[in-house]
Chains A and B, each alone.
Chain A
Amino acid sequence: MRLELVPRADPGARARALAPLFALLAAVLIGGVIVALMGRSPLAAFHVYFVQPLTQGWALQEIAVKATPLLIIAIGLSFCYRANLWNIGAEGQFIIGALVGSILPLVTHGTGAGAWVVPAAIVMGIVGGMLFALIPAGLRVAFGVSEILTSLMLVYVAELTLDYLVRGPWRDPKGFNFPQTVSFDATLPYLVDGGRLHAGILLAPLVAVAAWFVLKHTLFGFGVRVAGEAPKAARFAGFRPNRLVLSAFAISGGLAGLAGILEVLGQIGQLKPGISPGYGFTAITVAFLGRLSPVGMIFGALVMALTVIGGENAQIALKLPLDLTRVFQGVLLMCVLAADALVTYEVRFVSEARA
């Protein structure tokens, strides 16, 4: 027996749209097997992971809160991935965005500065993430260094920078020696009193719509798609490859930075280590689960946010470790990639001895 892949000429839109759903189903089944191997009830785990959060008001809010950074980062990443550029350092760009964006709230702390601080901080967060992403992009353009490893290495650098600042110069002197800054005066307003939904959540769908428009209707978006499909054709079209690398990374880093500063201003209200539970990496799964399309990524971000909440619930209710969520995310990404392959190719089993 041998496995053979036969390319499909044109798989059609429905198969493409359905593939992630089948991948999700497969990943849930594999996850169930893993839970069973751990000696727990897969049905109970499924209920806690995927059903319970959808039935509780606070959990629904929490899903929106968690989906926001995931979606914003994933949309940025999709620009890189569509252009066949491998930015895997969104986690670092998220942190640096949060960090640079926090400068203003920290400096103006206690001065009673006006409402301008929040928007200005958001802009600075975007710029911070953008500049940080331009390091691997610049190294690639100038020296031909693969962006994969450099962007990843910079995640560690970003984490350590944050760690240094909140333990050192930026530490709250009245914070009982905890590694954290003061609680900001300037934060995003809540949408509902006493709820969890902050104003930053409204930006996520806006970003998705903007990305959809850019990719679908602008010459720049066309250039990104051509560069990913056929780099030589992009050069033939006159889209400068270097400029494209820089702009895709700038968008990607800028959005990761935006997600970072929104998280700090809307959710946490201060800087401390671990402001990101790995959003930058989870967003990679979101991007692929959404097939790199903005609409698909909204679905992907909601699903991944659900698993994050579900994972936290499961830890409390069933004593299932948080690492199970990571395992599930890894399995899901693999299933998505496999489903993608099954859409692109027809898999045939051929017996070695021909009839």
Chain B
Amino acid sequence: MKRLDGDRTGAPLIGLRGIVKRFGSMVANNRIDLDIRAGEIHALLGENGAGKSTLVKIIDGLLQPTEGMILWQGREVVLNSPEDAAALGIGMVSQHFSLFDNLTVAENIAVALPPNESLAGLDARIAAIGARYGLALEPSRPVWSLTAGERQRIEIVRALLREPRLLILDEPTSVLTPQEAERLFVTLKALAASGCALLYITHRLEEVRQLCDKATVLRLGRVVGSCSPREESVQRLAALMVGSEIEDIRPVAAHTPGPVRMQLTGLNLPPADPHGVALRDLSLGLRAGEILGIAGVAGNGQSELFAALSGERVVADAGAVVIDGVPVGRHGIDRRRRCNAAFVPEERNGHGAVPRMTLSENVVLSRHATGGVVQRGLVDLEAAKAVADEIVTAFDVRRGRNDPLACILSGGNLQKFVVGREILREPGVLVVNQPTWGVDAGASLTIRQALIGLAARGAAVLVISQDLDEIFAISDRIVVIHGGELSEPVSARTATREAIGLLMASGKGQPHAA
């Protein structure tokens, strides 16, 4: 990598001046100033919806600011496309990987190279970068066969092959095990030492304190503070981010769980699509009054597990899934709902809710089998409307006008609606996949508190989550899913993050080896 000397002129490598980005009437970024110097690891902190992603897309040329300017080494530049940004030396490792499952690693890297660059010897270059920064990859493997960590390496290698002077990393650890994250940090520190500037986007404060030299905090689209994170406490950083001292979840006093309400015995499920994960011999008892957290790295069978538990996919063995003593393995989702179970899928737009239908129609979506909104095959939209209003009040859903289309609601409000729709039924068993994914802190708190409340009233709650913080915050017991298999449950009070992390990385390995 070239020695970089952006500092010599005294100007920062990149400077943002008064950046404003509006989408219609929504202001995503409001007069943002930001300086990053060569060799610096700069954290961009903020909770979901603070405007981090928008700002990053502007720096990467994917979006154009409504107002303001970008200075590169003191000179104004206009970035109309990612190509423009790449030409300056701006690289990006996105949170959502831009990868092509059916193509090989080498093809995935080749397509991102500048057009004038030869592809000859690409495999050797991939190997060289890999050796230098600890990013091992097999060029001929198809991407669908790789783990999330390996996929991320492709993204990083892609960026490094273009010898970036500024590398943006958007929530890079969100899909990694703690151990993979540690390995990533080593790579990033080596990069910074070689003179590359890093913009590190996250909402994980511990990582910032461990890795970053400077931090800029965004809230509601504005810069609300910048500091040297190693000199600040986590609490102060968090307060800056959220705008007040964050309220903690009120845990329920230690209690003994009741009888088993949902039992899995030797549950097997073949993958639904060619690249899917098979569930193998899952056994688990979910007890009344407890929240059981299923931790795991994305793509290890979480969506398959949700499908098998909810009945979106049925299995041949009726006894593989038992709800309150009723074998339901062969029953579809509506018959499981009639057994007083309820389900919240991961994706709210298009799975848990239909974006282009009204809230009351979305009530019918999951309530039609359990009475109240459908009589003799006819939909009672008045009754559904009443239920929707009830959910809106109970879960503080901000909906603008009366009974809008679901797509009008913000992510957090729609998620509160979708979770509320199920919890208000007072189900005996609730299965939730990623309850607070991409949701602001306020809505997260409401949702987690509601889950804890439901369990306290005697329901059995199963939470599938990739967010270890969430798992530890609300679970009574923790199980790890890896490669379609479940680990033995451990108590959340005694488990350590390291032990869970090892399980996430290697399945049924030895949790005490750490």
CA of A147 to CA of B415, assembled, Å:
35
- A348 interfacial contact with B, CB 8 Å: no
Stretch of A174-182, A228-236, A258-266 contacting B (4+ beta carbons < 8 Å): A228-236
Known pairs A237-B365, A354-B64; A229 contacts B357 (CB<8 A): yes
A238 and B351: CB pair below 8 A? no
Known pairs A218-B378, A222-B361; A236 contacts B80 (CB<8 A): no
Separation in Å of the A113 CB from the closest CB of chain B? Answer: 37
Separation in Å of the B165 CB from the closest CB of chain A? Answer: 24
B350 and A232: CB pair below 8 A? yes
Q: Which of B312, B368, B379 contacts A217 (CB 8 A)?
A: B379
Stretch of B119-127, B152-160, B236-244, B331-339 contacting A (4+ beta carbons < 8 Å): B331-339
A227-264 residues with Cβ-Cβ distance < 8 A to B are 229-230, 232-233, 235-238, 240
Residue of A nearest to B348 (CB): A233
CA of A222 to CA of B377, assembled, Å:
10
Residues of the B chain whose Cβ atoms lie less than 8 Å from the Cβ of A240: 332
Residues of the A chain whose Cβ atoms lie less than 8 Å from the Cβ of B337: 238
Separation in Å of the A349 CB from the closest CB of chain B? Answer: 15
CA of A237 to CA of B378, assembled, Å:
16
- A323 interfacial contact with B, CB 8 Å: no
Residues of the B chain whose Cβ atoms lie less than 8 Å from the Cβ of A235: 312, 333
Output the residue of B64, B311, B353, B357 with the most chain A CB within 10 A.
B357
- A226 interfacial contact with B, CB 8 Å: yes
Provide the main secondary structure of the chain A interface: helix
CA of A230 to CA of B407, assembled, Å:
13
Residues of the A chain whose Cβ atoms lie less than 8 Å from the Cβ of B32: none
Known pairs A237-B366, A240-B332, A354-B64; A230 contacts B351 (CB<8 A): yes
Separation in Å of the B202 CB from the closest CB of chain A? Answer: 30
CA of A236 to CA of B332, assembled, Å:
10
Tally of A-B Cβ pairs under 8 angstroms: 73
* Chain B interface residue bracket vs A: 35 or more
Q: Which of B80, B366, B369 contacts A354 (CB 8 A)?
A: B80
CA of A105 to CA of B351, assembled, Å:
50
* Chain A interface residue bracket vs B: 20 to 34
B357 and A236: CB pair below 8 A? no
Q: Which of B78, B332, B378 contacts A238 (CB 8 A)?
A: B332
Separation in Å of the A144 CB from the closest CB of chain B? Answer: 11
CA of A220 to CA of B407, assembled, Å:
23
Residues of the B chain whose Cβ atoms lie less than 8 Å from the Cβ of A10: 404-405, 408
Q: Which of A218, A219, A230, A238 contacts B354 (CB 8 A)?
A: A230
Output the residue of B332, B350, B354, B369 with the most chain A CB within 10 A.
B354
- B141 interfacial contact with A, CB 8 Å: no
Q: Closest 10 A-B residue pairs measured CB to CB?
A: A238-B334, A230-B350, A232-B351, A238-B333, A230-B354, A237-B365, A233-B354, A229-B354, A235-B312, A219-B374
6 CB < 8 A contacts A-B? A222-B361, A222-B364, A226-B357, A237-B365, A237-B366, A238-B369
Instruction: Give chain B's interface residues, CB within 8 Å of chain A.
Output: 64, 78, 80, 310-312, 332-335, 337, 343, 345, 347, 350-357, 361, 364-366, 368-369, 374, 377-379, 404-405, 407-408
Q: A237-B333, A237-B365 are in contact. List 12 more A-B contacts (CB 8 A).
A: A9-B407, A219-B374, A219-B378, A222-B379, A226-B357, A232-B350, A235-B333, A236-B352, A236-B366, A237-B366, A237-B368, A238-B368
